[in-house]
Amino acid sequence: MMWHYKMRLSETSWASSPETSESGAAMMLRAIGMMSGTSLDGVDVALIETDGKRIAGFGPSGYRPYAEAERAVLRRALEEAPVMADRDARPGILAEAERVVTIAHAEAIATFTAQHGIAREDIDIVGFHGQTVLHRPERRLTVQIGDAAALAKAIHIPVMHDFRAADVAAGGQGAPLVPVYHRALAQSLDREGPVVLVNIGGVSNITYIDGADALIACDTGPGNALLDDFMFRVLGKPFDCEGRLAAEGVVDENWLARSLQQPFFTKPPPKSLDRNDFATLRLESSIAADGAATLTAFTAASIAAIVPLLPKPPRSWIVVGGGARNLTLLRMLRERLTPAAVETGDQLGWSSDAIEAQAFGYLAARGLKGLPLSYPATTGVPMPMTGGLMAQP
């Protein structure tokens, strides 16, 4: 194990923490971050050591996949969630989906800590994102299901949760929240900017970093969600492994050109999306490979479409998230983003699969210290905004 000391935060020390800015010395925390993304594949878990500003070290990471029955419940929850007006209500299948999410996260923590010999007394905080089922910032509404109080009692560790609500209530987009963590990662790189980190989950989002001050972020469009849904609908498969099917297909350039005319793609950042915002663009292809190729090209093209909206053309792009494993998507990105370099986080020694989970451990540490999670140029919030609520065991 990499950890060399033990420290716990009590409820009173968390609540009265005097640190509310980026300055000053800070005690390192051991945080476990958890992420259940819009791809509905499962729960990522990662351990990180941080003071909420610097990354002192990475611990192990893990993954708890959703069973198909669990995934089916979550899909139904996504279908029913658009009618929600009260973010605390759990009508219909939403209550069962919340139970599924909570149990899956509790099991993920139990398995992770047992496998790696981690005592709960050695963890200061768990960052619990929950499962997003609805994101409508224009209505000041964002809903992440998962019972943080029940989770904290099950794992006997304080849980930071509900990271997006304060930003949305203040008029921000509430997404993406990972840019502040991307900035911390990028500080270890020795390269000229601008650098862009691209996180490709169900939705794709970017973080633009140029020096110490420029931090711009937004969702760019579909990530894996449309392709995953197509694969499940047509072939009964959860995703296109390594982009193999897309590699055999031909892109429908007419469909792609029409789809890229959506007003979202010319809107400047910050901007964000719900997983299902492009569901009406469903592609009905008689050839599965062509459909996979077209939807993969849609993801690559929508990411490339952000370039004219950035202050300067990026010199390098770093791809993380599930999309980093899609070799066809990476090829298409390199073709569209040339002459900029395109590489994956794994090529830099990062864990592309664990980055979002690490990010929510990092955000939990920032939330504990009252540090900002979002900024005007990342979510459109009027001022730097902290966030997160605490659930005690």
Task: Work out the pLDDT band at 23, boundaries 50, 70, 90.
Answer: very low
pLDDT at 13: 26
In a domain, 296, yes or no: yes
The answer on pLDDT for 2 being more than 60 is no
Number of domains in the chain: 2
Residue 116, pLDDT above cutoff 60: yes
Query: Nearest-CA neighbor of 378 among 350, 359, 353?
Result: 359
Number of residues that this document lists for the chain: 393
**How far is Cα 163 from Cα 10, in angstroms, rounded to an integer?**
20
- Asked if residue 130 has pLDDT above 50, the reply is yes
Tell me, yes or no, whether 187 and 239 share the same domain: yes
Q: What is the pLDDT of residue 273?
A: 86
- Cβ(171)–Cβ(381) below 8 Å: yes
pTM: 0.84
3 falls within a domain: no
Is 378 a member of any domain? no
Around Cβ 56, how many Cβ atoms within 10 Å? 13
SS3 of 188, please? coil
The answer to whether residue 318 sits within a structural domain is yes
Between residues 391 and 286, the one the model is more confident about: 391
Q: What is the pLDDT of residues 137-167, one digit of tens each?
A: 999 999 999 999 999 999 999 999 999 999 9
Instruction: Let me know whether 131 and 118 are in one domain.
Output: yes
The CA angle 165-159-139, to the nearest 5 degrees, is 10
Q: What is the pLDDT of residues 322-369, one digit of tens each?
A: 899 999 999 999 999 999 999 999 999 898 889 999 999 999 999 999
Residues 120, 253: one domain?
no
Q: Are residues 363 and 247 in the same domain?
A: no
User: pLDDT at residue 21 above 50?
Assistant: no
CA dihedral 330, 333, 334, 335 (to 10 degrees): 130
Residues 124 and 191 occupy one common structural domain: no
pLDDT for 26 equals: 64
Q: What is the mean pLDDT of residues 289-297?
A: 97
Task: Show the beta-strand stretches assigned E in 167-313.
Answer: 195-200, 203-210, 214-222
Q: Does some domain include residue 264?
A: yes
Q: Are 231 and 114 part of one and the same domain?
A: no
Are 51 and 186 within one domain? no
Higher per-residue confidence, 135 vs 24: 135
Look up the domain containing 22 and give its range: 11-175+356-372+383-391
Enumerate residues 6+ apart whose C-beta is below 8 A from 194.
208, 209, 210, 214, 310, 311, 312, 313, 314, 315
Same domain assignment for residues 362 and 339 = no
pLDDT of residue 352: 81
Residues 333 and 220 in one domain: yes
What band does 277 get if pLDDT is binned at 50, 70 and 90? confident
pLDDT at 1: 31
C-alpha closest to that of 74 among 141, 145, 163, 136: 145
Query: Do the Cβ atoms of 65 and 238 come closer than 8 Å?
Result: no
338 domain residue, yes or no: yes
Tell me the DSSP string of 131-185.
Answer: EEEEEEGGGTEEEEE--HHHHHHHHTS-EEE--SHHHHHTT------THHHHHHH
**Percent of the chain, pLDDT > 70?**
93
Q: Where is pLDDT greater, at 285 or 186?
A: 186
Same domain for 152 and 247?
no
**Rounded distance between C-alpha atoms, residue 227 and residue 329, angstroms:** 11
Structure confidence at residue 196 (pLDDT): 97
Q: At 40, is the pLDDT very low, low, confident or very high (cuts 50, 70, 90)?
A: confident
- Based on the fold, state whether residues 106 and 135 are members of the same structural domain: yes
The two tokens of residue 376 are 């005007």
DSSP string spanning 13-78?
HHHT----SS-S----EEEEEEEE-TT-SEEEEEEEEE-SSSEEEEEEEEEEEPPHHHHHHHHHHH
- Only one residue has tokens 């659930």, namely 391
Q: What is the model's pLDDT at position 167?
A: 95
Residues 183, 118 share a domain: no
Please tell me what DSSP assigns to residue 374.
Answer: B
**Within a domain: 194:** yes
Is the pLDDT at 250 greater than 90? The verdict is yes
Longest dimension (CA), the chain: 61
Establish if 1 belongs to a structural domain: no
CATH of the domain at 67: 3.30.420.40
